[in-house]
Structure 1
């Protein structure tokens, strides 16, 4: 018998093997009032890790007092109550099973069926109107999408991954149109996951920043707004100069043209007649006889 076999046999006799094969107990997440859906999911994982989730789902008579699995029910309800604040524990202290306590928590924080249906319709409307902001980062928008999708699924609505991917693409702003078109034309959306899509968006965003600098997000196009305006301005000035030998002459600023001094209004009252030497008329309009004729007379 080898040394390893001897060690294993000794462990079996001493009960150490049971300790080695036992699963590692995971810590239970503290109760989060702000996001019950996320907390419930993490709590489900922790109970599954300790082989206690079956006491809540599906549950059954074997988990009630006197049943074969009553001890697991006690462990599950203890785990739930241990992460609850005092005011919530008061709602759970009278419950006879872990499943009943869990259903009470869902009712308290998700509401009854009519309330859940109303909340579901509100979330679905927000989901359909979802748009990514012009200055919003990819990570921030992804967090909004994930929170909304988790909320919809927690209320019983089946939301497929391909539906989320398509909604993400439709919500993209103009600066992501090149990558959206490339994905829709070259990739089968049925095989594309949301994580892969987010990675492609982030790679495109970093590429545009590398090419055009850290500019405003609405300028991440094939040409920036400033480049487009400069190009149009230059072409217009060359077209105007085509009739003057093809030389480029920069257009004068409209503000400078508007600041030119205006001509003074003509005032006839200040005109002096060269015939009678009076103000207010021209010589041709003078009714007095010419001075030369008057001297000859």
Structure 2
């Protein structure tokens, strides 16, 4: 598995991919929290020293992955970083902003998510793509968005023409276990049936 490359664009998406990569390598905790050094290593046992050295080696491995995941013109920004956490924080601060800026951005994204509504001119696929992109941005800023929340959002924000299928889903499905994929599939199937009925009605009108 090769690391995703960051060229300076779409940091949020790159960060999500890198987090997944680090989790697959059991390195994310080191990137997020760093290596905690004991105040007095002279009192540490041989086993404790061995664990610490292993953590340092893993941290160096994570740092190397970050270094190789950025293009040459970005590398100088993290070239002096001595830990994975430091390198990660440098990139995060530059491309996502300071903690204060990230909090403001997160609040804006939350508000956008709550206010998002489907337009009459949009298809389910187009609207869900917008919702998914916003959810990915929220996740990139540390927001936990469970699938149930996305399902509920879609159900209450599609246009009125989907009311019949939404009512059917709410009455016949367990919303707490319904997946986004299942919901979108049902909405798209209804959308296609409705479109065919409208086309047939239009054809019949011309025949009259």
TM-score (ref. length: structure 1):
0.57
2:53 pairs with 1:67? yes
1:266-281 superposed matches below 5 A:
none
What residue ranges of structure 1 are gaps of 5+ in the alignment?
Answer: 1-25, 215-222, 228-297
SS in 2 for 1:191: coil
Q: Tell me by how many angstroms 1:53 deviates.
A: 3.2
2:196 pairs with 1:210? yes
Question: Using CA pairs below 8 Å that are at least 6 residues apart, which structure has the higher relative contact order?
Answer: 2
Aligned partner of 2:48 in structure 1 is none
Contact 1:116 1:155 in 2 (8 A): yes
Contact 1:44 1:53 in 2 (8 A): yes
Q: Greater Rg, structure 1 or structure 2?
A: 1
Partners in 2 of 1:146 and 1:160 — Cα distance? 12
2:27 pairs with 1:57? no
Partners in 2 of 1:53 and 1:158 — Cα distance? 17
Partners in 1 of 2:103 and 2:55 — Cα distance? 35
Partners in 1 of 2:127 and 2:78 — Cα distance? 37
Partners in 2 of 1:52 and 1:99 — Cα distance? 11
Aligned partner of 1:157 in structure 2 is 143
Alignment deviations for residues 225-272 of structure 1 (CA, whole Å, 9 cap, x no partner): x97xxxxxxxxxxxxxxxxxxxxxxxxxxxxxxxxxxxxxxxxxxxxx
Partners in 2 of 1:194 and 1:186 — Cα distance? 16
Contact 2:35 2:59 in 1 (8 A): no
2:71 pairs with 1:85? yes
TM-score (ref. length: structure 2):
0.79
Task: Supply the RMSD in Å over aligned alpha carbons.
Answer: 2.6
Partners in 1 of 2:93 and 2:119 — Cα distance? 35
Partners in 2 of 1:115 and 1:57 — Cα distance? 19
Partners in 2 of 1:28 and 1:59 — Cα distance? 20
Aligned equivalent of 1:169, options 155, 159, 169: 155
Aligned partner of 2:22 in structure 1 is 47
Work out the number of aligned pairs and report it.
Answer: 191
Partners in 2 of 1:61 and 1:67 — Cα distance? 11
Contact 1:32 1:39 in 2 (8 A): no
Partners in 1 of 2:27 and 2:142 — Cα distance? 23
Aligned equivalent of 1:97, options 83, 87, 90: 83
Q: Tell me by how many angstroms 1:195 deviates.
A: 1.6
Taking a change above 3 Å as real, the CA distance of residues 54 and 118 of structure 1, as seen in their structure-2 partners, is closer
Alignment deviations for residues 194-221 of structure 1 (CA, whole Å, 9 cap, x no partner): 221111111111222333339xxxxxxx
